[in-house]
Amino acid sequence: MLFLVHMPLYWIFSDLGQSTLSYSHWIRDSHGLDYAAGMASNYFHGYLKLSLPERKEDGLHHRMQLYEDQNNITFGINRLVILIPDEMFVNGVLESDLLDKAEPLETKFINRAGVNRPFKHAVYRLNQKVNGKTYYFAIEGATPMLSFFDAMQSNLSATWQMKELKREIWLKFYKHLKELITTWPETRNLVELIIYSSHDSNGNLIDVGELLKAHMQNKTRTIEELTD
């Protein structure tokens, strides 16, 4: 009984001994209980695993092929490109001097918990030719990261751990999402994750269009470089 009385005090004082480094190591572990893994898991199971695979000739590849045939265009990357900037913020309409917004892919409707939910994927045109050809991209930002960005701005939800370890959470989100996508047979060839620093060494915003061009030429920075 005495142990139970003092248990809250034990929790309080043991928590005081936790450092940013220990929290960082805990986030990196594979236990599925952290904020980053939770966001990645919900994003994958509640969105990507539902909207992308082929069901009744309505999968991502089918819709992209239909889009190419109807508009006589070519996609630069035959997957859904998902942007994961370290700033975690992506505008509703991508800001880039090299990208023009085009008509989205055909909407896919899936009944989810009693709601006939629409799934849409935006399309952008690269207005600079690559090897003499114009390319299009099905592309969007990682919405859980935007929600996390919003949460950090709120006094109701933000904690010092979230702010101090936002980079760890960002990286863990990417790693866990990539693992889920590549492990599940129906999605492993349908998503292209692009993780990157939002600003260059001079503090200027990275142009997403330039990033896509570099990615097509296999010159993007890797996760290993970002974690150095």
Does some domain include residue 167?
yes
DSSP the chain: -HHHHHHHHHHHHHHHT--HHHHHHHHHSS-S-SHHHHHHHHHIIIIIHHHSS-SSS-SHHHHHHHHHHHHT--EEEEEEEEEEETT----SS---TTEEEEPPPPPEEEEETTEEEEE---EEEESS-BTTB--EEEEEE-HHHHHHHHHHT-TTT--HHHHHTHHHHHHHHHHHHHHHHHHSTTTTTTEEEEEE-SB-TTSPBPPHHHHHHHHHTT-PPPHHHHT-
Confidence (pTM): 0.80
Instruction: CATH number of the domain at 149, please.
Output: 3.40.50.12100
pLDDT confidence bin for 143, thresholds 50/70/90: very high
Task: Look at residue 97 and tell me if it is in a domain.
Answer: yes
Q: Structure tokens of 114?
A: 């009693």
**Cβ contacts of residue 197 below 8 Å, gap of 6+?**
85, 86, 206, 221, 226
Residue-wise pLDDT for 154-199, tens only, equals 888 878 777 888 898 999 999 999 999 999 999 999 999 999 999 9
Q: Does residue 185 fall inside a structural domain?
A: yes
Instruction: Say if 101 falls within a structural domain.
Output: yes
The domain in which residue 84 lies consists of 33-226
Task: Report the pLDDT value the prediction gives residue 172, as an integer from 0 to 100.
Answer: 92
In a domain? residue 6: no
pLDDT of the residue at 10: 41
Count of the separate structural domains present in the chain? 1
In a domain, 119, yes or no: yes
Q: Answer yes or no: is 9 within a domain.
A: no
User: What are the pLDDT digits (tens) for 77-95?
Assistant: 999 999 999 998 988 899 8
Q: How confident is the model at residue 123 (pLDDT cuts 50, 70, 90)?
A: very high
Examine residue 3 and state whether it is found in any structural domain, yes or no. no
CB atoms within 10 A of CB 17: 7
pLDDT at position 23: 57
Mean per-residue pLDDT over the chain, rounded: 84
- The pLDDT of 102-108, averaged and rounded, is 96
Q: What is the pLDDT of residues 15-50, one digit of tens each?
A: 444 556 565 565 555 544 478 999 999 999 999 999
